[in-house]
Amino acid sequence: MKRLIAIFLFVSASHVAAAAPDARVDALKTEVAARGWIVYGARSDNGTWDLFLSRPDGSARRNITNTPDFEEAAPRFSPDGSRLLFRRLEKGTTIDHDRWGFQGALVIANADGSNPVAGEDGAAPWASWSPDGKQVVCLDKQGIHVLDRETRKEVRDVMKRQGIYQQLFCSPDGRWFCGVANVGGESWTVVRMNAATGEMNTVRTFQNCTPDWFPDSERIILSSRPAGQQVNDGYGYTQLWAVDGAGGNDRLLYGEEGYHIYGGAVSPDGAYVLFSRSPQDGSGAENAGGEICILRMADTPTIAGESTELRKLHPATKDGPVLFLTQGWEPHWTYAESGGE
């Protein structure tokens, strides 16, 4: 009888341990459910890429563009959550990832996708909001410009783009830009630029992309494929990292062998990380069934799955929990309730 009780207790304890990760994920899902809205691109029923809005737990999901003749991407809430800017491309456009910053048209709309106003095709389609949301900082082949949100007229011609060709983001305090550049003979390098002087410094060199700012305007979240990985034919997998804007103090946030991690964004209070994971790299990654995920900053660094080699490279890591939501790409988060109205 004692042996049977011992076996029962062992099996029960094992069952509780096995169920613990699900319980942790459920707790995270409940925790973020009412924290505003997320917006992201995803394949719609009509076969094109549209923008979708949902609660951070995946509920109340709806298509807010639904444009069968266009593809939409790279949505960004304004600082107050009342407006969206995003890129619109003609249906069937072949994405050239080396000139992605110059394809499509910039669209500004209400946060629910209504009243969209599109600019000219190819005219500064990559853009981000100024800290007050009244202006838009745009990148085109000539340089970086600041436009009035309503009139689209140029307020300030900032500077030459100095090698930046995509993913231009203004820091929350307005002092800096970050983006992806070809500098010093290195492609796919994340850089930081002084918004007043144009002075630029390298944040992380080679095989880096999708940078964005932490709320403190000091750190940058980015995707990177560090050297030294032997998996994936020696090419390695892309992970999510936090790096000081001045360069250095690199810190792993999330990695998982078998998946490339892109489009990292930080929640408005810096408490959570939002990102996409895709089994495919480079061109076509967004079409390869990528999932949108949420992770607490307090639970970083996390390595998911078996990831034998990554765990050897980063032994002092955690195991989440990670909330896997839905298929999607380039997510962004607002805590404002106006985002869903």
The Cα–Cα gap between 314 and 249 comes to 15
Angle ∠(16,323,208) on CA atoms, nearest 5? 130
Q: Which two tokens stand for residue 204?
A: 């992380």
Q: Is 310 helix (H, G, I), strand (E, B) or coil?
A: helix
Residue type, 172: P
Query: What is the pLDDT, as a whole number, of residue 93?
Result: 77
User: Which domains, ranges and CATH numbers included, belong to the chain?
Assistant: 37-340 (2.120.10.30)
pLDDT digits 0-9 by tens, 229-259? 778 877 778 999 999 999 999 999 999 999 9
Q: Provide the 10 A C-beta neighbour count for residue 113.
A: 23
The residue whose two tokens read 């910039």 is 106
pTM to 2 decimal places: 0.89
| Cβ proximity of 252 and 315 under 8 Å | no
Query: What is the pLDDT, as a whole number, of residue 37?
Result: 97
The Cα–Cα gap between 285 and 92 comes to 16
Per-residue confidence band for 267, with pLDDT thresholds at 50, 70 and 90 = very high
Query: What is the pLDDT, as a whole number, of residue 284?
Result: 60
Residue type, 112: D
The Cα–Cα gap between 292 and 333 comes to 12
Alpha-carbon dihedral of residues 198, 204, 206, 207, nearest 10 degrees?
-110
pLDDT digits 0-9 by tens, 68-100? 999 998 999 999 999 999 999 888 777 665 555
Does pLDDT of 20 surpass 70?
A: no
Query: Looking at the DSSP assignment, which residues form a beta bridge with residue 318?
Result: 302
Query: What is the pLDDT, as a whole number, of residue 220?
Result: 98
The Cα–Cα gap between 73 and 94 comes to 13
Does pLDDT of 270 surpass 50?
A: yes
Query: What is the pLDDT, as a whole number, of residue 289?
Result: 63
Q: Which two tokens stand for residue 331?
A: 């997510």
Range in 90-99, 165-174, 213-222 the model is least confident about: 90-99
- The more confidently predicted of residues 15 and 276 is 276
